[in-house]
Structure 1
Amino acid sequence: MSSTTEASAGRAQIAARTLRTDRWWLPPLANFVGLALWVVYATVRAFMQDWYFVPQYNYLTPFYSPCVSNGCVEQAAHFGRFLPDVWWLPYASLTLPFLLLFRLTCYYYRKAYYRAFWLSPPACAVAEPHKKYTGETRFPLLGQNLHRYFFYIAAIISLINTYDAIEAFIKEDGSFGLGLGNIILVINVVMLWAYTVSCHSCRSIIGGRLNHFSKHPLRYKLWVQVSRLNGKHMQLAWTTLATLAITDFYIMAVSAGWFADLRIVG
């Protein structure tokens, strides 16, 4: 396919890259800055291998869940320790690659980083600088079609995060406890579930392959609810990046002793 900057028969010959006069470059710039900052923070934290668990309150950051490295403290290894403890292997390397792939292949994130990093295109009615356009028909973008399978894995990981949030209500001595950390963990899990369920693949799985919704009232009701969430998929995508970072930072700060957890019960 020809570039959008090339002349074609029957179309106006416009030398300018765009005739838009608004600040069309602001959204892709904001996406670039936001995504870049988050990737840097998440990468540093994933390889830090420290300040990820608060044993007194059983707080485990989602960046290290499940903690399956031999370097994990025993209390944080809810599902065992079997990966080698080396600096280049994150403690949660069993799940982090799939979470990354789930986000990378997400329909909204594709739009965000295609525009922000590849300028393909940077905005509507703005020509892209690339001479050729092949879409998602070549490697590695051909792998975007695997998104539905990464959705299933992301759902399992969300179950693990839910288990961690519930486990955090039991303190080190076995008694019930409630602190600000518990509230943050629960909010993060709720948002993660909302983002995961609002996925286009989830909507397709629930309502797909049906010719008559009237014959499947339960699936129709579920499809309606998921469709409502799907309309907020972009907002949920960014909200979960924020809740993940906030949850991780709070647990890191408490674990490092920068400040104490605000306790409500116990």
Structure 2
Amino acid sequence: MTSTAARPGAGGFRAAISARTLRTDRWWIAPLITFLGLSAWVAYATVRVFMHKWFYVGEFHYLTPFYSPCITDRCGEAAEFGTPLPSFWLIPEASFTLPFLLLFRLTCYYYRKAYYRAFWLSPPACAVPDGHQTYSGETRFPLVFQNAHRYAFYAAFLISVINTWDAVRAQATGLGLGNVILWVNVIMLWAYTLSCHSCRHIAGGRLKHFSRHPVRYRFWTFVSKLNTRHMQLAWITLGTLALTDFYIMAVSAHWISDLRIIG
């Protein structure tokens, strides 16, 4: 039975409630789904990154974003930027980009909320107590590195350019289902990257007079509209990345044939 005995409070006396939370809805479903979804994606991505095969379809120039740009000795004709790294199994083919993409996602404002709640229970939901006794915010190691998000955005922007080039290069062979999947993935990646809070601040965060900067104001308005969909785009891009990689893997492994539309 919940105790309601009065106890001193900031404004006099308040009810002493022993219940952990007064929420009666299934508040734990959202963090549980987030936990399962992110765990499944990380498991799939980790396995694929260290498979070191089935990442390129030479006939159509399909290169999975998990291996772009390909810079190890295993890359073969998929290497457009040289092969400076050896073919050691612990070295991913996309060693140049993966650390920056990981940093960009880990420090993303939405993903912080997602894994703070789902993995650290800090807090698991609104009006639910934190799972930890103390809280120091993002002022100490390792969370102080969350401030690197604004710098990770620049790297993510350049990587989106590389992904766009991969789609353009594949387009030179004609048009197939793989091309459509590559372009959908690239468009979604650009939408997610540009919807970043850091991008919105760069676009117009320091402007005092929008009327004096009409071009930047229009871009800021566009980015602001994307920003309202940042959470959805964060999840959509996880899906398009996995779909693009799986399709290219299936074609490269000869499990299926690419559906050609032109060429």
What range is the shorter-chain TM-score in? over 0.9
Distance in 2 (alpha carbons) for counterparts of 1:222 and 1:105: 23
What is the Cα deviation at residue 78 of structure 1?
1.3
How many Å apart are 1:71 and its aligned residue?
Answer: 1.5
Cα deviation digits, residues 129-180 of structure 1 (max 9, x gap):
2110001011110000010000000000000000000000123xxxxx1100
Taking a change above 3 Å as real, the CA distance of residues 226 and 8 of structure 1, as seen in their structure-2 partners, is farther
Cα shift at 1:13: 2.7
User: Could you tell me the TM-score, scaled by structure 1's length?
Assistant: 0.94
Q: Displacement of 1:119 after TM fit?
A: 0.3
Q: Which runs of 5+ in 1 are unaligned?
A: 1-6, 172-176
Question: Does structure 1 residue 158 correspond to structure 2 residue 155?
Answer: no
Say which SS state the counterpart of residue 48 (structure 1) adopts: coil
Is residue 27 of structure 2 the alignment partner of residue 24 of structure 1?
yes
Residue type matched to 2:187 in 1?
A: V
Q: Give the match for residue 80 of structure 1.
A: 82
Q: How does 1:157-196 map to 2 (within 5 A)?
A: 157-171=159-173, 177-196=174-193
Shift of 1:8: 8.4
State the Cα RMSD in Å: 1.1
> 2:248 and 2:226 mapped to 1: Cα distance?
29
Q: Who is 1:44 aligned against?
A: 47
Aligned to 1:4: none
Query: Which is bigger in relative contact order (C-alpha 8 A, separation at least 6)?
Result: 1
Q: Mark the runs of 5 or more structure 2 residues left unpaired by the alignment.
A: 1-6
TM-score (norm 2): 0.95
**Counterpart amino acid of 1:128?**
D
Aligned mates of 2:228, 2:30 — CA distance in 1: 19
Identify which range, 13-22 or 49-58, moves more after superposition.
Answer: 13-22
Look up the SS of the partner of 1:264 in the other structure: strand
Q: What is the 5 A alignment of 1:1-266?
A: 9-10=9-10, 12-73=15-76, 75-171=77-173, 177-266=174-263
Shift of 1:209: 1.4
Q: Deviations over 1:197-254 (max 9, x none)?
A: 0000000000121111111111111111100000000000000000000000000000
| Structure 2 Cα separation of the partners of residues 183 and 29 of structure 1 | 33
Q: Deviations over 1:83-142 (max 9, x none)?
A: 111001100011101000000000000000000000000000000121100010111100
Distance, in Å, in 2 between the alignment partners of 1:144 and 1:17 is: 30
Distance 1:158 1:138, change over 3 A: same
Q: What's 1:3 paired with?
A: none
